[in-house]
Amino acid sequence: MAEFFELTERMSRTADGRLVPEGDPAGRTFFGGPGTRIPLADAERSGLIKIRSQPEDKMRERGEDKSTSEPMEAPRRRR
């Protein structure tokens, strides 16, 4: 199931593909107005939102620290 981001204001697209509020000097073409739904991936790609990756979210929820304080032992060579 795709998740969506809903615009709350009129947005324009810049020459490099970002979305900016209408009236921004960088805006080149009208993109959409309040209520326009776009996939989350497109919203992130356009610079509207930043989506955290799933593994980091799960680590924060559990409070786990996956880093090690001890150095790893180098593999031993067979002679």
User: Which string of DSSP letters, residue by residue, matches the chain?
Assistant: ---EEE-SS-EEEETTS-EEETT-TTEEEEEE-TT-EEEHHHHHHTTS--PPPHHHHHHHHHT-----SSPPPPPPPP-
| Residues 18-75 pLDDT 10s | 999 999 999 999 999 999 999 998 899 888 888 776 555 555 555 555 555 555 565 6
| Residues 6-15 pLDDT 10s | 999 999 999 9
Tell whether pTM > 0.75.
Answer: no
